[in-house]
Structure 1
């Protein structure tokens, strides 16, 4: 089947070329008719597009011409025969990853999942395809070469496919046998070797450690139940995420990294960063980024629609009532969602829990990789004397912004001045005049100590006072990538780590 798909050009690039931008964008929006029209003269590729991406019924001779002998595919329940012709029984979707920054060529894969129909999505054991969460995690994952990688809760195998590009050995687990069966199809069609194992959480890898762990776990907070295996953990609220985080350090090799998606409750009377921070194990650097917060009503409605339910139906209203009653009893005021990254360390851990500002752009992989490098550098320059001896360069995407209001006496009255990274995560920090001047002076030529001395003279501020005020801010500027070290790692302008660039699922 893999050979037939390749021969027909049923790849992300092939499908885009056949459909054209307008029809492809319409298909992505869930509008199939433009794609159906664009595929009419597509021969075998057009047949496969209509069969798998549009879920149309195709004449058996045309499907045979595209895929060869259909008996194994019918017996394997990838296709099904109807009186009108052949229909897809599973979603077989072109997927891929673009070339790496280091010149590594891209990869074409196929992801096999259950059909994305409302009836199929309401099945308790429904296996989802490549969705927004999968794409977000793939685009946030650090892609440095590792010996071993664990994809915990693999589903249809998306993260395992990506992991095969930079890990020597990939292990993927899932509690649902059907998910592993579809992951086996995804990996087989894609020519990727993955060790697939069945079982809950860490049970299939008891006693093993890994260089990297990635996970898109069942993270949807709610009552203690399992309506859908792909999203519900069976534990109430965010207890599953807390338990998963607590066990990660013991599954990582020294220096090993774990990255996952998660969702946590905002409970009345509790500080959400403290809540998440309390779940983290000892001996790990950790960066927790909250991407968004929604109120309980939106949280429930979003996941009901995700499951193919009509929120106004009697069944959905009954489920929503029970869900919202549970949230009210648990004093839940909101639900946060975001990214978590942990790294096992023997040093004093750095733990940061914060909101993620701005748009993600191409994803967080480069940002995550850079954060690890930057906190290593800050750890090596922990003493004030070491930091003052460093030479720093202001990031080219840093901008200075001022906000002013109308002054009642005429003109403008400045309210605030901030520095912000332009593009990607918009890390923002308030600054005063000396701090703005210090940033502007970081051109990669003078050590920080000399810049501080010049500012002390120019602003008539004692050097000791300027150092005490500036160094904590400088550390934050470095951590958020507004200031880049020139010494202690490759030059920041030339230093580029290969990041995931998922081509995305067609449609």
Structure 2
């Protein structure tokens, strides 16, 4: 395997080439069109090559790094200049096809994925080829490119500017490269030598500085503190075997997620935040919030845990077996499926939860909020996580002062919508069944309320403290006392961003 310095050096020279050609996610999508862009997701090279059949540099890069096809050597030389094809072969980025193809040419030996990260910025990530466009032998050491989990964590990471950041288990470097644009220093670690090599190349292609360190878990940063930690660890819940390093930790069941979450607080600077993708098992008689909460210390942190999905054990095992190209119905796939499910049965696993764990270093007794996030949403979750901790800190300060929201002027957030759902009344007409408020942005939280709650919220314009609004509502409706339920409702809605401080 060519040295990392050679690949990184070549990628540093290649960066201005990609910038000049405009090899961006948007440019590729525009060149391919909707149909061929969909073929990329399905791993079908034919429509991609038809849409980008020319020989201009952008077409050539699409043929090489999107369709993973053979291209004429002269076309590759033209597209990559001043980087030569021989440079690309020497560093392991390209491979010569003369020996095994009927026509002379070259093809990609590694993947380069353009990723548009906003504000007109494109990053490029180096990884092993994923095998969709050009099938490859199964490789336990494979370093994956940008997948759904990577993109989820990108959108879920707080976007505040920070001093020091850590990307734990960096893989191809996608999180480290993104964070580097808003951090003074970024340290990225990985157990895999290959991953460290590719992450270094990704940083060079993307024009950012990342300090790469090799080693397991938190060992390479022992004793160090960070303002932001991001981690997409090998969180697959299994029986402790390591078949693929990108997903298998070697720890039993959800041991990888537990290890990361337990050790996070020791590496967070005061006020520092961590964003982690994690999995946890569900067991009969053990609520999942209790399980995840047990991984956190009694003092020193605030945590927000969002369960995004719950998978049936058989479905979970079958999905991951197919991910590695095995059929769970026959042969080795069936045998592995049986062993995996047997381990789940022995451990009493009834399901596998998956989601985000946010941890912030904060003085005093720990606070852990666990919630379901099953509803669909489009907006990035990162800013919402930051806002959540700000709101929770405000509520904690009120409680420490012996106060509550009764003396606070609140106003409805601008993205709140009120919905009234009616059903046919057996005696004719319509009967109101549900009154609901929904945030139309962020995670799109939705809360059912009653008519009194709707009237209370209608008065939340920031003019009067909540307690005075309750007094007025009691006087108008001749219903009461309403302060206690009003405070419970307002606190919950404030925590979820429906209500904002008017001060």
TM-score by length of 2: 0.91
Which of 447, 463, 471 lines up with 2:487 in the alignment?
471
Shift of residue 412, structure 1, vs aligned partner? 4.4
Corresponding residue of 2:158: 142
- What SS does the aligned partner of 1:95 have? strand
Which of 134, 139, 148 lines up with 1:123 in the alignment?
139
CA contact (8 A) 1:111 1:158 kept: yes
CA contact (8 A) 1:358 1:424 kept: no
CA contact (8 A) 1:357 1:427 kept: no
CA contact (8 A) 1:350 1:375 kept: no
The CA RMSD measured in Å over matched residues stands at 1.8
Residues 7 and 416 from structure 1, CA distance in 2 versus in 1: closer, same or farther, beyond 3 angstroms? closer
In structure 1, list runs of 5 or more residues that go unmatched.
100-105, 488-507
Deviation track 1:385-443 (CA, whole Å, cap 9, x = no partner) reads 45222111112332333445544444444444332223442323232232221111101
Is 1:418 the counterpart of 2:431? The answer is no
The 1-side partners of 2:374 and 2:327 are apart by: 32
- What SS does the aligned partner of 1:283 have? strand
Is 1:455 the counterpart of 2:479? The answer is no
Shift of residue 141, structure 1, vs aligned partner? 0.6
Corresponding residue of 2:127: 113
Which residues in structure 2 correspond to 1:3-18 (within 5 Å)?
3-18=16-31
- What SS does the aligned partner of 2:181 have? coil
Shift of residue 64, structure 1, vs aligned partner? 1.1
- What SS does the aligned partner of 2:252 have? coil
Is 1:67 the counterpart of 2:80? The answer is yes
The 2-side partners of 1:13 and 1:196 are apart by: 29
Corresponding residue of 2:204: 188
The count of aligned residue pairs is: 479
Corresponding residue of 2:11: none
CA contact (8 A) 1:108 1:190 kept: yes
Which residues in structure 2 correspond to 1:99-110 (within 5 Å)?
99=119, 106-110=120-124
Is 1:175 the counterpart of 2:216? The answer is no
CA contact (8 A) 1:121 1:308 kept: no
Residues 15 and 416 from structure 1, CA distance in 2 versus in 1: closer, same or farther, beyond 3 angstroms? closer
Shift of residue 66, structure 1, vs aligned partner? 1.2
- What SS does the aligned partner of 1:359 have? coil
Corresponding residue of 1:389: 407
The 1-side partners of 2:70 and 2:390 are apart by: 52
Residues 13 and 432 from structure 1, CA distance in 2 versus in 1: closer, same or farther, beyond 3 angstroms? closer
Corresponding residue of 1:40: 53
User: In terms of mean alpha carbon deviation, does 374-383 or 122-131 score higher?
Assistant: 374-383
TM-score by length of 1: 0.90
The 2-side partners of 1:314 and 1:178 are apart by: 31
CA contact (8 A) 2:236 2:247 kept: yes
Shift of residue 360, structure 1, vs aligned partner? 2.6
Corresponding residue of 1:89: 109
Shift of residue 350, structure 1, vs aligned partner? 3.0
CA contact (8 A) 2:115 2:122 kept: yes
In structure 2, list runs of 5 or more residues that go unmatched.
1-13
The 2-side partners of 1:459 and 1:380 are apart by: 33
The 1-side partners of 2:428 and 2:236 are apart by: 53
Which residues in structure 2 correspond to 1:290-369 (within 5 Å)?
290-369=307-386
Is 1:228 the counterpart of 2:244? The answer is yes
The 1-side partners of 2:496 and 2:314 are apart by: 34
Deviation track 1:146-193 (CA, whole Å, cap 9, x = no partner) reads 100000000000000111111000000000101111111111111111
The 1-side partners of 2:445 and 2:379 are apart by: 16
The 2-side partners of 1:98 and 1:305 are apart by: 33
Which of 219, 222, 236 lines up with 1:203 in the alignment?
219
Corresponding residue of 1:492: none
Which of 33, 36, 43 lines up with 1:30 in the alignment?
43
Corresponding residue of 1:504: none
Residues 9 and 426 from structure 1, CA distance in 2 versus in 1: closer, same or farther, beyond 3 angstroms? closer
